[in-house]
Amino acid sequence: MHKPREKLWLLFLIIPALLARLYFAAQLPHPGHGDPGFYYTIIESITSGRGLEINYIWHYLTAPNAVTHPGADYWMVFASMLMSIPYFVFRNLFSILVLSSLFGVGIALLAYRFTQAYTSSKFVAFLVLFYLLFEPALFDFSISVDAPVYYVFFVILALFLMIQGNENPKYFVWAGAVTGLAHLTRQDAILLAPTLLLTILLAPFPFKTRLRWMSLALGAYVLVLLPMLVYNVQNFGALLPPGPSRVAFATEHEQVYVYSTDLSLESYLALGWRAILKQKLLTGLANLKIAYRQLGLFATLFVGIAFAELVFSPARRTLWRKYLPVLVFFVLEFLFYTLVATVVSTHGSYGKAILTTLPFFILFAFDALSRHIPHKLVATLLTAALIFPPLLTTYPNAQGKIAFHTEIAQEMQDLAATLQNRVEPREDDDIILMTRAPWEVHITTGYRTIMVPYESLDVIYEVAQRYGANYILLPIPSRPALDDFRETSENDPRFQFIVQVQNSNLKIYRIVPDAP
């Protein structure tokens, strides 16, 4: 394909994909719940000159001394640093989403670029580009104040540089640096480090040369991480954020929000080996299902063919180094989310992680299909079967996202109005709300918030006393201690009903300090 025509086709695909993202981004009224809310508050904190500080507590794994505390004790913050750049200039949510949209399109363009390492077919390259421009999950994260779209970009760039390093070892150093950027974006990118070292170890160079490049690549990785390591030591007394290490010993997802409950190897082993092995097995099967659903039947089939060729086809066997980093990283992530981060795995974490190898797997599938199905009509039908079923969900998923965020925004606005009009007037700093949604409540109301811990009612009250919370928002799902709170509060002097939020089922109760 001639270069001018190729550029026209690229623009023909990229511009509509970018405009589609911006169309939905312009409609997003609120950052959202959980992760996006966290990243947004970090953005606000950075651009207001307060660094990485947050005015709420969403977990107690590190037991912060006060509600306002260093925020990088669990989630990584590099994505927020990137998103803070447009926000600093324009001060609106849309500017952040423009950057995320550009990174989303950048993932597809980067994948288009590295198809050249596997096939000379421009048809395959454009199929990969088209698929990734409109793939539902990547499209969704492109219009989110969230880390995955940045994480996926850095991971696939690091993996591509590792593959290029087999031809020019200087790329290994760049791969180390980009691995550092990916790690600054999400915790599980640490798995790129052993992937990189193994790739260099098996590279086609003399042993001493490989050792030298391993040292340089590892040095680049650590150098990029150095500011984060210093920050962690200064604020938490550890090289890595201390929160996630305790989650490995949780037995259910809501234990991420425990306060006094012990999460340790000893408490975890108390489950018994049979229960532990059953949990790991079921999680592993669930993760396989997530991976299968992400790829679909035809992509899974042709990815399997591509890897089988590396074993059984002498002509393809020589290409194994181009597939090695992708396969190693995929296996490491699967094992990590099955055996270590078991509890958070099926609550979205593994679904985000699998997106890092998706661009490669889609490329492998299209390449295998084009080589093994010479009949154009059959190949076209199979390609359509591979592409269109997942892409048909992109538009309705985006519509659902807008509707969900609109619902959050409206409920939070009603809450803010009720607090302003019906709760006893006082200085903002005197109101601290206890809630299951500390992120969005803080973003909209401006009040400090703390998470309702996954504990007994007595411990919930103890936490409220420690951090000065004087109001609690109910109902709260997944908190058994609060299931019958309406009846409980009638005879409990520690809690007093104040008002129900207009147009909502939320109720505001006052937490009475030092109640008998």
With a CB cutoff of 8 Å and minimum separation 6, the contacts of 296 are 386, 389, 390
From 8-17, 196-205, 244-253, the region with the lowest mean pLDDT: 244-253
Q: How far apart are CA 100 and CA 144, in angstroms?
A: 7
* AA letter at 368: A
Interatomic CA distance for residues 103 and 385, integer angstroms = 27
How do strand 432-435 and strand 448-451 relate by DSSP bridges? Answer: parallel
User: Among all chains, which residue has been given the structure tokens 């052993």?
Assistant: 194
Contact 462, 447 (CB under 8 A): no
Give the pLDDT mean for 157-173: 97
Position 170 pLDDT exceeds 70? yes
- Going by their DSSP bridges, the two strands 507-511 and 495-500 should be labelled as antiparallel
Average pLDDT over residues 7-26: 94
Q: Which of 328, 355, 308, 291 is nearest to 147 (CA)?
A: 355
Q: Which of 240-254, 350-364, 413-427 has the highest mean pLDDT?
A: 350-364
Phi, psi of 433 (to 5 degrees): -100, 135
- Whether 489 shows a pLDDT value over 80: the answer reads no
The DSSP result for 378-419, as a single string, is HHHHHHHHHHHHHHTTHHHHHHHHHHHHHHHHHHHHHHHHHH
CA proximity to 311, closest of 330, 297, 299, 324? 324
Residue % of the chain over a pLDDT of 90: 72
- Per-residue confidence band for 2, with pLDDT thresholds at 50, 70 and 90: low
The lowest-confidence range among 13-22, 204-213, 247-256, 431-440 is 247-256
**Which amino acid does the sequence have at 170?**
K
DSSP 85-138: HHHHHH-SHHHHHHHHHHHHHHHHHHHHHHGGGT---HHHHHHHHHHHHH-HHH
Which residue shows structure tokens 């953005």? 43
Average pLDDT over residues 383-409: 88
Long-range contacts of 498-502 (CB under 8 A, 24+ apart): 498/422, 498/423, 498/471, 499/418, 499/422, 499/423, 501/411, 501/414, 501/415, 501/418, 502/414, 502/417, 502/418
Average pLDDT for 155-171: 97
266: its two tokens: 């000893």
pLDDT tens profile 83-140: 999 999 999 999 999 999 999 999 999 999 999 999 988 889 999 999 999 999 999 9
pLDDT (mean) for 29-36: 94
Q: Which position has the higher pLDDT, 439 or 388? A: 439
Q: How many helices (H) and strands (E) does the chain have?
A: 24, 8
**Residues whose CB is less than 8 angstroms from the CB of residue 337 and which lie 6 or more positions away in sequence, other chains included:** 188, 283, 287, 344, 345, 349, 350, 353
What's the pLDDT score for residue 275?
Answer: 92
- Candidates 423, 419, 470, 429; CA nearest to 68 is 429
pLDDT at 428: 47
What CA–CA distance (Å, rounded) separates 391 from 394?
Answer: 5
- Residue 424 has a pLDDT of 64
Confidence band of 389 (pLDDT split at 50, 70, 90) = confident
* CA 286/CA 334 separation, integer angstroms: 11
DSSP secondary structure of 465-506 = HHHT--EEEE--TT-GGGTTHHHHHHT-TTEEEEEEPTTSS-
Is pLDDT of 341 > 60? yes
70 pLDDT exceeds 50? yes
Which residue did the predictor score with more confidence, 13 or 388?
13
The pLDDT tens digits for 370-379 are 888 877 677 7
- Kindly state the average pLDDT of the residues 290-304: 90
Question: Which DSSP string corresponds to 312-331?
Answer: H-HHHHTTHHHHHHHHHHHH
pLDDT single digits (tens) 413-456? 999 999 988 776 555 457 899 999 999 999 999 999 999 999 99
Whole-model pTM over 0.85: yes
In a 13 Å sphere around the CA of 6, the CA atoms on its Cβ side amount to 12
Which residue, among 478, 480, 479, 473, has the nearest Cα to 495 in the 3D structure? 473
Q: Can you tell me whether residue 57 is helix, strand or coil?
A: strand
